[in-house]
Amino acid sequence: MHWFKLVFTDNFTRTFKLASSIDKMSSKIQKIAVFTSGGDAPGMNACIRAVTRGGIHHGLEVVGIHNGYNGMIDGEYAVLQSYQVGNIIRRGGTILKTARSERFRTKKGMAKAHAALKKHGIEAVVAIGGDGTFSGANEFTDKYEIPFIGIPATIDNDMFGTDNTIGYDTALNTVVEAVDKIRDTADAHNRLFIVEVMGKDAGFIALRSGIAVGAEAVLVPETDTHVDSLLALLAKGWKSKRTGWVVMVAEGDDAGGAFKIAEQVKEKFGHFDIRVSVLGHQQRGGAPTCMDRVLATRLGVGAIEGILEGRSKVMVGIVNNEILYTDFSKATKHHKEINKHLLELTRILS
């Protein structure tokens, strides 16, 4: 009767129909699992919390799978209670642990995972991870009937079907804080720092953090790096008596990374005082930012709603501030393009 009273407009009518469909689906699915896979990302814990409490809110039993696909195969399952995910929203890493699994790539591994899921009565699975996680889930659901919904959690922000991935904003802020400190010593000693950040196939971290710290140049995998152009830029800056330099490099840049670039610069400009700083895995850690906590929460609840609507083989994302579901095949094969306007900004401001 309560829902019937809400049916006054087209919008409310759609809300009524959605609520009805969720109630209908929830009577079919009663037990779900959630796991984290691949590289860790700040905000994974916030997402586990949202999936757990969102599922419990809809009357579902939520099971946590430890150690990614390996744990799925080996039967590392434990029921999650609401109190167990209290206060984890602020923690980095993942309480469920994570791993990359070669065994899950095999027919035998997938068969064992399916048998374990059925043994524990799992009727749907929420996978928190990135490209490799969703590729595995896509292949698994082609063979077995258990629905999977993915939540994008990777600091690289390279998933198609969402404006941002969980962990990206925190990683950016980690890089900016580190490079701001590096800039102080660069200015104090008139040094050139070549800073390498994560991004094997995508330069989103290097590009945005490079703009934020005022880097003199940003080198990313999406564009060809012409070292001669970089050398010309440095020569121009030297003549203008600029002091303190920062060049941001994504690890997957085609010039070979920070150390190789430093060697080439040293050959041309022996008078430069050059240092290389590889920020490494500190970009994966730390407490998630407000943006990542909210994003993880919205996506976690969005995954539960997707399951209750009968969705499978999709990644839940947010595009233009709206929840969007994208097929795994598109999310993993259609790589997000880098913003060419932001690249041009780095050239203008250098």
Structure confidence by residue, pLDDT tens digits, 142-154: 999 899 999 999 9
Structure confidence by residue, pLDDT tens digits, 261-272: 888 888 887 788
**Cα dist from 49 to 88, 143, 224, 294, 331, whole Å:** 7, 29, 41, 12, 24
65-74, 170-179, 325-334: the lowest-pLDDT one:
325-334
Q: Which residue has the tokens 């860790």?
A: 40
pLDDT score for 238: 66
Q: What is the mean pLDDT of residues 217-243?
A: 77
Taking alpha carbons only, the member of 211, 240, 157, 156 closest to residue 342 is 211
Taking alpha carbons only, the member of 277, 337, 303, 331 closest to residue 125 is 303
Q: How confident is the model at residue 335 (pLDDT cuts 50, 70, 90)?
A: confident
pLDDT score for 51: 98
Q: Is the pLDDT of residue 21 over 60?
A: no
Strands (E), 37-141: 61-65, 77-79, 124-129
pLDDT score for 338: 80
Terminal alpha carbon distance of the chain: 64
Q: How confident is the model at residue 242 (pLDDT cuts 50, 70, 90)?
A: low
What is d(CA 174, CA 286) in angstroms, rounded to the nearest whole number? 8
Domains, the chain, with CATH or none: 2-167+288-333 (3.40.50.450), 169-284 (3.40.50.460)
- The number of beta carbons lying within 10 Å of the beta carbon of residue 188 is 10
**Cα dist from 105 to 111, 126, 132, 133, 135, whole Å:** 10, 18, 10, 11, 10
Q: Is the pLDDT of residue 26 over 60?
A: no
The percent of residues above 70 in pLDDT, for the chain, comes to 89
Out of 40, 131, 156, 292, which one is annotated catalytic?
156
Is 156 a catalytic site residue? yes
pTM of the model: 0.87
Answer with the residue of higher pLDDT: 334 or 314: 314
User: What stretch of H or E contains 317?
Assistant: strand 314-319
What is d(CA 283, CA 157) in angstroms, rounded to the nearest whole number? 13
Q: Do the bridges between strand 61-65 and strand 273-278 make them parallel or antiparallel, or are there none, so unpaired?
A: unpaired
Taking alpha carbons only, the member of 129, 164, 173 closest to residue 149 is 129
Q: Is the pLDDT of residue 24 over 50?
A: no
pLDDT score for 13: 35
**Cα dist from 30 to 144, 160, 202, 268, whole Å:** 18, 30, 39, 66
Q: Half-sphere exposure of 118 toward its Cβ, with a 13 Å CA cutoff?
A: 9
Beta bridge partners of 126: 34, 149
Angle at CA 35, nearest 5°, toward 33 and 41? 150
Q: Is the pLDDT of residue 131 over 50?
A: yes
Q: How confident is the model at residue 239 (pLDDT cuts 50, 70, 90)?
A: low
Q: Is the pLDDT of residue 309 over 90?
A: yes
